[in-house]
Structure 1
Amino acid sequence: MLLDTNSAASIAEMAALIRTEDSSLDTMSLTPVGAFQNRTVTLHTLMREVTESLAEAFRRRPAQAFPMLYFACGKARVGSTALSNLFGMTGMPSYYQPLKAMLRDAMVGQPLTPWIIPQAADQPNLFSKETIGPYVIAESLFNPLKLLIDAGYPPHRLHLIALDREPASALASWLDKLISRASENTLLAHYIIAALSAARVSSYARQQGVPVTHYVYEVSKEPIASVRVLFDRLGLSASFAEDAVTSWQQPGQEHGSNARVIFPSEAAIYKVPNLHTSDSAYRFQPRATGAVTSAQLELLERCGVNDVYRASVAACIGDLGLNAAASSRLFGERAGVAA
């Protein structure tokens, strides 16, 4: 289908295709979008090209030589960069969306630079984050976990950290931070696509036997307790340190220099001023939602974005073993709905 980002009906039709995992999503023609995409191409072709490049780096490696990869994924603007910093502060190599960087190169016909991961003997544990969206349909639909598995990353060496954030807050962040790169209607449409696509990644992980831990941004209101439980759930209790949560490097200071976030090379169009908040610790950053219109909120409900979030909250409460009191503090009335 041809998505009309100015039409709520067209956006809802696309949302229905995503929720039912319609195969036409892989083969529909994706037309060029300014500097972000200069090819008319299908998602299937882009996924195949990235998979083949990854496979070149993976295929001669035995399963036991792959590090355990803690793979965080969600729609954009869900606190994933802060989580990358947190894992990096523990001393673990922490990668910043290497797969989306490859996809973006493929969208403009650039040669792909495969993600080269260390040997397990050198680095037994890795963290990587990928976000879905925001600028074009391809990056709002792609499944980065499928790229890894199809390229040969052993599923038993993966653990998905499924990220989410309260829908109005996340959308408000898109509209505030990304408006210099895309129109409001485009961002709204791609936000809905990305939110629903992120849920598909979790479903795919379960199909492939990959463990899933749901980690919803609102739990960072109580950062030390939440991160401690997350690390326990991941089997990383020995790597947890309160300093990694509370004491990050600030300009002009030397502490926290063990952060090991590894960034890909990306085109200048992706360097958005003030995209990420500079902070000295891992913490919750509230987002005002007054600019989100009632029509936009209604479309989130209509397209199933709120349903995805409610399911994420319920799964997060279960995965982290949150009791009723903690759930209420972190999620408010959403906790009651989720339960």
Structure 2
Amino acid sequence: MLLDVTSADSIAEMATLIRAEHPSLDTMPLAPVGAFQSRSVTLQTLMREVTQCLAESFRDRPAQDFPMLYFACGKARVGSTALSNLFGMTGMPSYYQPLKAMLRDAMVGRPLTPWIIPSAADEPNLFSKETIGPYVIAESLFNPLKLLIDAGYPPQRLHLIALDREPASALASWLDKLISRASEATLLAHYVIAALSAARVSDYARRHRVPVTHYVYEVSKEPIASVRVLFDRLGLSASFAEDAVTCWQQPDQAHATNARVIFPSEAAIYKVPNLHTSDSAYRYQSRATGAVTPAQLELLERCGVNDAYRAAVAACIHDLDLSAATSARLFGERAGVAA
């Protein structure tokens, strides 16, 4: 289908296709979009090109040589960068969306550089984060976990950390931080697409027997406790240290001191001023939602974005074994939890 970002009905139709995992999403033509995408191409073609490049470095490698990869994925603006800093502060190599960087190169016809994974003998555990969205349809629909598995990463060496954030807050962040790169109408449409696409990644993981832990941004309101239980759930209790949560860089530094965060090379168009808030610790950052209009909020409900978030919260409460009292403090009535 041709998406009309100015039409709520068109966005809702796209949302229906995503929730149904309709095969037409893979084959619909995606027109060029300025500096972000110079090719007329399908998502299927882009996914195949990235998969083939990844497979070159994975091929003929025994399963036991792949590190255990803790793979965090969610729509953009869900606190994933702070989480990558946190894992990097533990001493674990922490990769910043290497797969989306490859997808973005493919969208403009650049030669692809494979993601080189170290040997498990050298690095037994890795962290990587991928975000879905925001600028074009391809990166708002793509499934980064599928790229890994199709390229040959052993599912038993993966653990998906499924990320989410309260929808109005996340949308407000998109509209505030990304407006210099896309129109409000485009960002709203792509936000809906990305939010629903992110929910599909968890379903894909389960079908391929990849363990899933849901980690919703609002749990970072109690950062030490939430990170401790996350690491316990991942089997990383020995790697947990309170200093990795509370003692980062000085506030005027862009990224955490000594964090082993590995960034890809990306085009200048993706370097958005003040995209990430510098901080001296891992903590919750509240977001005002007054700029999100009633019509935009209604569209989130209509398209199932709020339902996806409610499901993520319920799964997070289950996965982290949160008590009723803790759940109420963290999520309150907006998540359907009694305050």
- Same-fold status (TM-score > 0.5): yes
Against the structure 1 CA distance between its residues 338 and 148, is the aligned structure 2 distance closer, same or farther, given a 3 Å change threshold?
Answer: farther
Against the structure 1 CA distance between its residues 219 and 206, is the aligned structure 2 distance closer, same or farther, given a 3 Å change threshold?
Answer: same
- Following TM superposition, where does structure 1 have runs of at least 4 consecutive aligned residues deviating by more than 2 angstroms? 334-339
SS for the counterpart of 2:214 is: strand
SS for the counterpart of 1:332 is: helix
d(CA) in 1 for partners of 2:247, 2:70: 22
**How far apart are 1:257 and its partner, in Å?**
3.8
Q: Which structure 1 segments of 5+ residues have no match?
A: none
Against the structure 1 CA distance between its residues 121 and 216, is the aligned structure 2 distance closer, same or farther, given a 3 Å change threshold?
Answer: same
d(CA) in 2 for partners of 1:264, 1:336: 39
d(CA) in 2 for partners of 1:219, 1:310: 14
AA of the residue aligned to 2:100: K
1:313 paired with 2:313, answer yes
1:109 paired with 2:113, answer no
Match of 1:89 in 2: 89
Match of 1:202 in 2: 202
CA contact (8 A) 1:15 1:193 kept: yes
Root-mean-square deviation (CA), in Å?
Answer: 1.4
**How far apart are 1:251 and its partner, in Å?**
6.1
Give 1:48-127 correspondences, 5 Å limit.
Answer: 48-127=48-127
1:293 paired with 2:290, answer no
Give 1:149-160 correspondences, 5 Å limit.
Answer: 149-160=149-160
SS for the counterpart of 2:259 is: coil
CA contact (8 A) 1:65 1:120 kept: yes
d(CA) in 1 for partners of 2:9, 2:78: 26
Against the structure 1 CA distance between its residues 302 and 150, is the aligned structure 2 distance closer, same or farther, given a 3 Å change threshold?
Answer: same
AA of the residue aligned to 1:194: A
**How far apart are 1:336 and its partner, in Å?**
3.7
Against the structure 1 CA distance between its residues 198 and 252, is the aligned structure 2 distance closer, same or farther, given a 3 Å change threshold?
Answer: closer
**How far apart are 1:137 and its partner, in Å?**
0.1
d(CA) in 1 for partners of 2:112, 2:326: 45
d(CA) in 2 for partners of 1:95, 1:212: 19
**How far apart are 1:108 and its partner, in Å?**
0.0
**How far apart are 1:246 and its partner, in Å?**
0.1
d(CA) in 1 for partners of 2:285, 2:203: 28
Match of 2:143 in 1: 143
SS for the counterpart of 2:311 is: helix
Against the structure 1 CA distance between its residues 251 and 290, is the aligned structure 2 distance closer, same or farther, given a 3 Å change threshold?
Answer: closer
Q: Which structure 2 segments of 5+ residues have no match?
A: none
> Per-residue CA shift, 1:272-300, capped at 9, x if unaligned?
00000000000000000000000000000
SS for the counterpart of 2:139 is: helix
Match of 1:43 in 2: 43
d(CA) in 2 for partners of 1:170, 1:241: 28
d(CA) in 1 for partners of 2:101, 2:224: 31
**How far apart are 1:250 and its partner, in Å?**
1.6
TM-score by length of 1: 0.98
Match of 2:259 in 1: 259
SS for the counterpart of 2:114 is: coil
**How far apart are 1:222 and its partner, in Å?**
0.1
